[in-house]
Amino acid sequence: MGEHTTVEAIVAEIGAQVKGECQWLRHSRGERLATVEVRLLELVKRLRRLILDAAAQALGTGYAGSTLPCECGATARFVSYRRRTLLTLVGELVLRRAYYWCSRCGTSQVPLDECLGLGGASQSPGIVATTLLVCALHPNAQAMNLLEELGIPHVSVKESQRIVLEAGEEVLGDRDAEARAWSQEHADPTEDVRPRVPQRLAVLMDGTTVHTDGDWHEVKVGTFYPFDEAGGALGEKGCVATFEGVEHFRRLWDTEAQRWHLARAPAVVALCDGSTWTWNTVAEYCPPHTVQLLDFYHAAKHLWKLAHAIWGEGSSRAAEWVETQKTRLLEGQLEEFFAALRRWTELERYRQAAEEQLRYFETNRARLGYAEALARGYPIGSGMVEAACKTIIGLRQKQPGMRWRRRMAEVIAHLRCIYFSDRWSRFRARWIERASRAA
């Protein structure tokens, strides 16, 4: 409709369009649901355009007379009306705005832009938040194709990359500021704090590598989740991840621990892969009653590594030997377990491989209490640690041929932590609210 069409005329047109479609539905016979759906979707598209036209008319132009006072002390004069197109989740909103210019200082004013808090943005906060979400879950091109298929307005692939990096830097800034406030001033986190102290809490730590800036770099991942009396996860969880080194990870991890009231949880189990940095973090930040366990999945991987060195991959003898050792670990038969490992150190051919795994298990001997843990209804791992790395990092950042800039990888990792911690709806609401306040 024309730019001078009144809001009332647009509303009348909306009513006429809906009425016409309802009349067609009333008189149509034998039409399949698929046909009805297609017609309704076309109606929705037309109504969106009309609603956007009505919104543009209702917002007005921001015209405030022929002149406006300028900060330089002179007067800015009205020059013309200028169009600006903004992408929103409803579609493209085309505004006709009054433009003022001061001849003394060369400054321009656009009152409607200032009123709406537009700045230099060409997308709404809702578009930005949606772009962050879909690009956290899928490669950018796939993400934009998904939005297209769903009929949701979206930016180009190139623009989505700019949005994710630019908005992501702001998100990372908030994350790091919160971690600094806790580590330096013991200012408790205020967002997404758990409403109750969990009775049983598992904490997991692991690392994996991603190709960033021309080489492979480690990203450290931490997960928190409450578990029931049988050791099963209760569904809630909190995640942190960073490429920025162990000290930065520990600040983020400790901040997340405050959200979960770690120090007050009656039962805490730490499941880690055996890396020194993980146990050092547990020792420094977990309460004294924390039960430390070598993640059983990683323990089994090390047994398989030795078995393959002895019998080769695909060997039934290797499988039988590994199952025997796993049973000994689960039943607390540690003397028999270590004796079975030491046996292979006595044979020159297998000594190096056997000694490597023997050192791994001896280093973690105090963390092999699986029998007691199972008796108390504690989780022992069985891949939960590895699954956290795969879910948060691997599925998005380790696809074939992927190469990342490290900062973009950091952004995506954190956005996925927000999503898989079931916090996206609250994050999105805060993002929109902050944009509204800025306006």
Give the integer Cα–Cα distance in Å for 393 and 411.
11
What is the C-alpha radius of gyration for the chain, rounded to an integer number of angstroms? Answer: 30
Please say if the pLDDT value at position 185 is more than 90: no
Confidence of residue 3 (pLDDT cuts 50, 70, 90): low
Q: Are 208 and 222 in contact (CB under 8 A)?
A: no
Please say if the pLDDT value at position 2 is more than 70: no
**Residue 261: CA count within 13 A, CB half-sphere:** 13
Give the integer Cα–Cα distance in Å for 439 and 419.
27
Give the integer Cα–Cα distance in Å for 257 and 222.
10
> Coil, strand or helix: which one is 343?
helix
> Coil, strand or helix: which one is 89?
coil
Q: Quote the pLDDT of residue 4.
A: 62
Residues whose CB is less than 8 angstroms from the CB of residue 33 and which lie 6 or more positions away in sequence, other chains included: none
Q: pLDDT exceeding 90 applies to what percent of the chain?
A: 87
Confidence of residue 82 (pLDDT cuts 50, 70, 90): very high
* Beta strands per DSSP E along 258-312: 267-272, 291-294
Mean pLDDT across 29-34:
86
Q: Quote the pLDDT of residue 438.
A: 65
* pLDDT tens-place string over residues 109-143: 999 999 998 888 899 999 999 999 999 999 999 99
Please say if the pLDDT value at position 358 is more than 80: yes
Q: Are 252 and 240 in contact (CB under 8 A)?
A: yes
Q: Are 158 and 144 in contact (CB under 8 A)?
A: no
Q: Quote the pLDDT of residue 355.
A: 96
Maximum distance among all Cα pairs of the chain, rounded to whole angstroms? 96
* pLDDT tens-place string over residues 300-342: 999 999 999 999 999 999 999 999 999 999 999 999 999 999 9
Please say if the pLDDT value at position 172 is more than 80: yes
Confidence of residue 29 (pLDDT cuts 50, 70, 90): confident
Mean pLDDT across 172-193:
90
Residue 157 has φ and ψ, to the nearest 5°, of -60, -45
Please say if the pLDDT value at position 187 is more than 90: no
Amino acid at site 32: R
Please say if the pLDDT value at position 283 is more than 80: yes
Query: Among 187-196, 255-264, 301-310, which stretch is predicted with the lowest mean pLDDT?
Result: 187-196
Average pLDDT over the chain, rounded to an integer: 94
Decide: residue 219, CB within 10 A, 0-12 exposed, 13-18 middle, 19+ buried: buried
Q: Quote the pLDDT of residue 39.
A: 93
Give the integer Cα–Cα distance in Å for 11 and 210.
53
* pLDDT tens-place string over residues 55-81: 999 999 999 999 999 999 999 999 999
Confidence of residue 186 (pLDDT cuts 50, 70, 90): confident
> Coil, strand or helix: which one is 244?
coil
Please say if the pLDDT value at position 233 is more than 80: yes
Written as six digits, the tokens of 437 are 């306040």
Written as six digits, the tokens of 64 are 């405030």
Strands of the 67-69 sheet, one edge to the other: 67-69, 75-87, 92-102, 108-109
Q: Quote the pLDDT of residue 102.
A: 97
Confidence of residue 381 (pLDDT cuts 50, 70, 90): confident
- Beta strands 200-212; 267-272: pairing state: parallel
Q: Quote the pLDDT of residue 28.
A: 82
Buried/exposed 228-263: b ≥16 CB within 10 Å, e otherwise: eeebeeeeebbbbbbbbebeebbbbbbbbbbbbebe
Q: How far is CA 94 from CA 84, 109, 211, in A?
A: 6, 18, 42
